């Protein structure tokens, strides 16, 4: 789950990271009032789950409170990568002497949380990593001991030769690591970490991504989810415990397992069709999940044919068959359905489907070809 | 011969009285796996299916049965603890089926398991099967048949699909291993490839990867440098839209976006066969068994 900048900063601030004061405005008037309260200059920053906000014109420097109102007016309602800006962060503008990058990510290779720090921060940090890798220090943290003082200080001195700044940066590393662990992050970034002309460090931008698997045990973090900034069908699917990504095609796919779901989409394309979505009903399914999946898929007017591809392991295919029967009794289908189903309890599932007037096949290529033909309006 | 499990595997089922645990414990017993015990705290002393003793702790279960392998079906908040409990009890192969284990839990579990000299498969994996001998996990036994092809995959159901197609074409398997799709897992492609290379009963290997990360690229390099046996690869997600980026850090640390094209190029550079569709494995593997 992505957090907004203002949410990530609040969690970092709680852990002690120095963050310039800032507050959320939903109207231009609120933005002006906040700017007046803080004193100018301020930054007005779009709060959407998209990178490249600055390049899209969603981050502006404002010299006066009236300027803040005008800029907020322009940014609110703006479309950034398909997302509508509904709120802006108004925050004190910092004078910048230098910009550093500090990131923590859970790394597959070392199987640890790894710090990455560079004195060459800012928006071109990926370019720095690619062309001058020696400018980045990587430091894996042993989760059993946590980040040690000497490790934090080593990163501090990698960024700054001035001992006072190095110590202050080391402290921020420890605070950021605490925030990272406490929120159950898979990623936390400060970019840039700024040295002001007064030789003080502040975190001007912050980003956090929360591991979805942490949310059940961290209700305070789960409550930060902003459903207004997500595709509504994706919100609906998540609330039904399904993984769903909407696409532009017309073959609605309902599959169990991410790998098979992707392979099914690949095969739809291979046979000349276009998938309408990625939908994984996951393992350990119950009939309710299938009912919800069908409801979500059929609410997309682009869908011309529904393709089930179920290979039962922990998913019992009879659960899926019962779900199909229940869902189609509640809401009769308006588009054709192709069912491919095999694996655990397959015999029971086939009987349930046949008793209710459905046909099903056990061959994936055959089912996909049939679904593609039906979506194109052809005969099965 | 096979890798990781065979007819001498003795198994404890952690979470044997739960919905999934009990269902799959029965399936494993019907397949012929030697299920020697189960663990559900508070139900120690009872019997599962009137035959398998249930224990309160892994410590008690291993002391009483001498089991060498465990399989975990407990809910996600308890999975990390269950893995460490198994390793501390002396289990040498721990298979964690549970999906949804927090990744920060896994950063602590991984070194713990290593220090105890155990192998972890998963989490979020379908387990493994040595056809005709033993199955640990949830792979449907009826789709497998004994033979000489090793299977290793990041996916669950996609693995069944390909095993099923091979079996229908008369191509049997030495062992099938699902390593799971989580960012931190106990066993990776290279561990399995090395084991298949050393297994006298394996003559060719089918490997199924997915978009994201660099595990497949590293596996391709390993194949090029260390393997004599032929490997055929597949990448799921060739048409998937680019996923949400993990800030700058994701791209910096991997130096790669983990696209299907990158992975397929790595396969080709390693001299591997590349299956475009799952069904292509049949022809590509057949050609390599001749």
ipTM associated with this complex? 0.88
CA angle B156, B220, B246 (to 5 degrees): 65
CATH of A21-92, one of 3.40.50.1820, 2.40.37.10, 3.50.50.60, 3.30.1490.20: 3.30.1490.20
- State CA A314 to chain mean position distance: 27
Give the torsion sign (CA, A240, A245, A249, A252).
negative
Question: What is the DSSP pairing of strand A42-46 with strand A88-92?
Answer: antiparallel
pLDDT band of B86, cuts 50, 70, 90: very high
Measured CA to CA, the distance from residue A227 to residue A211 in angstroms comes to 17
> For A2, which DSSP code?
B
Cβ neighbours of B275 in A, within 8 Å: none
Per-residue pLDDT at B289: 94
Are B175 and B205 a contacting pair, CB within 8 Å?
Answer: no
Cβ neighbours of B102 in A, within 8 Å: 184, 211, 213-214, 217
Considering only the beta carbons, identify the residue of B102, B108, B164 that sits closest to A342. Answer: B164
> For A315, which DSSP code?
S
The dihedrals phi and psi of B11, each to the nearest 5 degrees, come to -120, 140
Domain positions in chain A are: 21-92, 98-222, 231-375
Would the CB atoms of B245 and A265 count as touching at under 8 Å? no
Q: Which of A6, A38, A101, A160 is catalytic?
A: A101
What is the b/e burial string over A19-43, where b = at least 16 CB atoms within 10 angstroms of the residue's CB?
bbebebbeebebbbbbbeebebbbb
What is the fold of A98-222?
A: D-amino Acid Aminotransferase; Chain A, domain 1 (3.30.470)
Mean pLDDT of B141-148: 94
Measured CA to CA, the distance from residue B117 to residue B113 in angstroms comes to 7
For residue B132, what are the CA distances in angstroms to A111, A262, B28, B158, B253? 35, 30, 12, 21, 43
Are A349 and A305 a contacting pair, CB within 8 Å?
Answer: no
The CATH code belonging to domain A231-375 is 3.40.50.261
Whether A115 shows a pLDDT value over 60: the answer reads yes
Count of residues making up chain B? 290
Mean pLDDT of B95-119: 96
Beta-carbon contacts of B287 under 8 Å, excluding residues fewer than 6 positions away, are B273
Q: Which of A30, A92, A151, A189 is catalytic?
A: A189
CA angle A312, A316, A322 (to 5 degrees): 120
- State CA A375 to chain mean position distance: 31
The pair of structure tokens assigned to B49 is 């299916």
pLDDT band of A143, cuts 50, 70, 90: very high
Are A89 and A31 a contacting pair, CB within 8 Å?
Answer: no
Q: How far apart are the CA of A314 and the nearest CA of chain B, in angstroms?
A: 6
The pair of structure tokens assigned to A289 is 């999940």
Measured CA to CA, the distance from residue A283 to residue A355 in angstroms comes to 25
Would the CB atoms of A105 and B253 count as touching at under 8 Å? yes
Beta-carbon contacts of A164 under 8 Å, excluding residues fewer than 6 positions away, are A199
Q: Which uninterrupted H or E stretch holds B137? A: strand B134-137
Task: Name the packing angle between helices B215-226 and B189-198 (round to 10°).
Answer: 30
CA angle B257, B262, B266 (to 5 degrees): 135
Beta-carbon contacts of A127 under 8 Å, excluding residues fewer than 6 positions away, are none
Would the CB atoms of A266 and B155 count as touching at under 8 Å? no
Of A277, A252, A258, A245, nearest to A337 by C-alpha is A252
Cβ neighbours of A343 in B, within 8 Å: 140, 143, 157, 160
Instruction: Point out the least confidently predicted range of A46-50, A331-335, B10-14, B247-251.
Output: B247-251
Per-residue pLDDT at A230: 76
Whether A300 shows a pLDDT value over 60: the answer reads yes
The dihedrals phi and psi of B43, each to the nearest 5 degrees, come to -115, 15
Cβ neighbours of A247 in B, within 8 Å: 241
Cis amide linkage into residue A192, ω under 30° from 0: yes
Give the torsion sign (CA, A183, A184, A190, A196).
positive
Per-residue pLDDT at B232: 98
Same fold, A21-92 and A98-222: no
Per-residue pLDDT at B123: 95
User: In whole numbers, what is the pLDDT of chain A averaged over residues?
Assistant: 92
- Indicate if A99 belongs to the active site: no
pLDDT in tens, B174-205: 999 999 988 899 999 999 999 999 999 999 99
Considering only the beta carbons, identify the residue of A213, A311, A343 that sits closest to B102. Answer: A213
Give the torsion sign (CA, A79, A81, A87, A92).
negative
pLDDT in tens, A326-359: 999 988 999 999 999 988 888 999 999 999 999 9
Tell me the pTM: 0.91
Q: Measure the N-to-C terminal CA separation of chain A; round to a whole number of Å.
A: 41
Q: How far apart are the CA of A259 and the nearest CA of chain B, in angstroms?
A: 5
Q: How far apart are the CA of A344 and the nearest CA of chain B, in angstroms?
A: 6
Give the torsion sign (CA, A236, A241, A246, A252).
negative
Count of residues making up chain A? 380
Whether B255 shows a pLDDT value over 70: the answer reads no
> For A362, which DSSP code?
S
Measured CA to CA, the distance from residue A52 to residue A208 in angstroms comes to 16
Burial class (CB in 10 A: 0-12, 13-18, 19+), A9: buried
Would the CB atoms of B279 and A365 count as touching at under 8 Å? yes
Q: How far apart are the CA of A39 and the nearest CA of chain B, in angstroms?
A: 31
Question: What is the DSSP pairing of strand A112-118 with strand A79-80?
Answer: unpaired
pLDDT band of A109, cuts 50, 70, 90: confident
């Amino acid at each position: 789950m992505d957090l907004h900048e203002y949410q990530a900063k609040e969690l970092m601030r709680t852990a002690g990271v120095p963050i310039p004061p800032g507050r959320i405005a939903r109207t231009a008037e609120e933005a002006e009032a906040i700017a007046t309260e803080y004193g100018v200059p301020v930054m007005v920053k779009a709060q959407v789950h998209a990178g490249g906000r600055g390049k899209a014109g969603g981050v502006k420097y404002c010299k006066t409170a009236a300027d803040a109102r005008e800029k907020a007016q322009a940014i609110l309602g703006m479309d950034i990568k398909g997302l509508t800006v509904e709120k802006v962060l108004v925050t004190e503008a910092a004078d910048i002497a230098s910009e550093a990058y500090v990131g923590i990510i859970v790394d597959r290779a070392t199987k640890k949380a790894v710090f990455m720090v560079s004195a060459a921060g800012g928006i071109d940090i990926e370019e720095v990593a690619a062309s001058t890798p020696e400018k980045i220090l990587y430091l894996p943290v042993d989760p059993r001991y946590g980040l040690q003082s000497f490790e934090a200080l080593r990163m501090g001195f990698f960024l700054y030769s001035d001992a006072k700044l190095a110590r202050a940066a080391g402290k921020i590393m420890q605070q950021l690591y605490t925030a990272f662990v406490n929120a159950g992050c898979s990623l936390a970034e400060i970019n840039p970490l700024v040295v002001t002309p007064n030789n003080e460090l502040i975190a001007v931008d912050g980003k956090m991504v929360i591991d979805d698997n942490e949310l059940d045990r961290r209700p305070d973090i789960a409550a930060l989810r902003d459903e207004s900034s997500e595709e509504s069908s994706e919100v609906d699917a998540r609330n039904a415990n399904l993984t769903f990504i909407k696409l532009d095609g017309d073959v609605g796919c309902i599959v169990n397992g991410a790998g098979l779901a992707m392979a099914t989409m690949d095969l739809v394309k291979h046979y000349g069709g276009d998938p309408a979505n990625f939908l994984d009903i996951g393992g350990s399914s119950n009939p309710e999940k299938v009912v919800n999946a069908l409801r979500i898929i059929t609410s997309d007017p682009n869908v011309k044919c529904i393709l089930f591809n179920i290979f039962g392991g922990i998913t019992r295919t009879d659960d899926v068959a019962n779900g199909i029967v229940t869902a189609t009794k509640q809401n009769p289908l308006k588009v054709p359905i192709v069912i491919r189903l095999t694996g655990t309890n397959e015999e029971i599932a086939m009987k349930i489907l046949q008793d209710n007037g459905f046909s099903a096949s056990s061959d994936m290529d055959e089912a996909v070809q049939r679904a593609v033909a039906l979506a194109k309006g052809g005969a099965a | 011969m096979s890798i990781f499990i065979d007819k001498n595997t003795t198994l404890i089922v952690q979470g044997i009285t739960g919905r999934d645990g009990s269902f799959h414990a029965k399936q494993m017993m019907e397949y012929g796996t030697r299920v020697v015990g189960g663990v559900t705290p508070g139900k120690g002393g009872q019997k599962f299916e009137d035959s398998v003793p249930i224990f309160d702790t892994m410590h008690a279960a291993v002391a009483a049965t001498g089991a060498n392998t465990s399989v975990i079906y407990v809910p996600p908040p308890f999975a990390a603890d269950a893995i460490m409990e198994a390793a501390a009890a002396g289990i040498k192969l721990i298979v964690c089926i549970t999906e949804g284990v927090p990744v920060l839990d896994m950063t602590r579990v991984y070194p713990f398991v290593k220090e105890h000299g155990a192998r972890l498969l998963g989490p979020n994996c379908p387990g493994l099967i040595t056809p005709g001998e033993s199955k640990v996990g949830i792979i449907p036994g009826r789709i497998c048949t004994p033979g000489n092809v090793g299977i290793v995959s990041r996916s669950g159901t996609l693995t069944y699909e390909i095993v099923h197609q091979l079996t229908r074409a008369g191509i049997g398997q030495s062992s099938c291993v699902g390593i799971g799709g989580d960012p931190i897992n106990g066993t990776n492609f290279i561990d399995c490839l090395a084991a298949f290379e050393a297994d006298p009963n394996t003559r060719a290997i089918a490997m199924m990867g997915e978009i994201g990360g660099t595990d497949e690229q590293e596996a391709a390099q390993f194949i090029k440098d260390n393997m004599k046996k032929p490997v055929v690869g597949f990448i799921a997600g060739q048409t998937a839209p680019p996923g949400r980026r993990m800030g700058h850090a994701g791209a910096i640390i991997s130096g790669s976006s983990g696209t299907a094209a990158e992975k397929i190029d790595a396969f080709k550079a390693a001299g591997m066969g590349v299956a475009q569709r799952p069904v292509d494995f049949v022809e590509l593997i057949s050609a390599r068994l001749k």
